Amino acid sequence: NAGVTQTPKFQVLKTGQSMTLQCAQDMNHNSMYWYRQDPGMGLRLIYYSASEGTTDKGEVPNGYNVSRLNKREFSLRLESAAPSQTSVYFCASSAVSEQYFGPGTRLTVT
């Protein structure tokens, strides 16, 4: 049972480049989330998907887009990366309150 998986684990981008972070869960959860973690800032919600076919903005959505491809997969896209998007990105899924997290993607934008 893999839980929540994320790819890639590490990525370096130049300013202006685009990329998609992938997330998949095998727990049959309806809700999925994308967070970013910055030093001293805790976890901040970027986007979430309450169920397949729906997505909504979280606390810090600017510069990001998401796609809920199916019940298992939820991707995060950076269309034009900026140095301010250097962060660690976590995907999570949940059935009710308790969320299960993936191992994270460490992204550096130069």
> Residue numbers of the site for another protein (CB under 8 A)?
4, 30-31, 33, 40-45, 48, 50-51, 54, 56, 58, 90, 92, 94, 96-104
Q: Which is nearer to another protein, 17 or 101 (CB)?
A: 101
CA dist 101 and 83 (Å) reads 25
Closest approach, Cβ 108 to another protein, in A, equals 14
Q: What are phi and psi of 84, to 5 degrees?
A: -65, -10
Q: Which is nearer to another protein, 31 or 67 (CB)?
A: 31
- Find all residues with CB under 8 Å of 55, minimum gap 6, and list them: 47, 48, 49, 66, 67, 68
Closest approach, Cβ 81 to another protein, in A, equals 22
- Rounded to the nearest 10°, the torsion over CA 103, 13, 65, 63 is 120
Q: Which is nearer to another protein, 10 or 14 (CB)?
A: 10
Q: For residue 52, what is the DSSP state? A: T
Q: Which is nearer to another protein, 17 or 61 (CB)?
A: 61
- Find all residues with CB under 8 Å of 10, minimum gap 6, and list them: 105, 106, 107
Closest approach, Cβ 1 to another protein, in A, equals 14
Closest approach, Cβ 56 to another protein, in A, equals 6
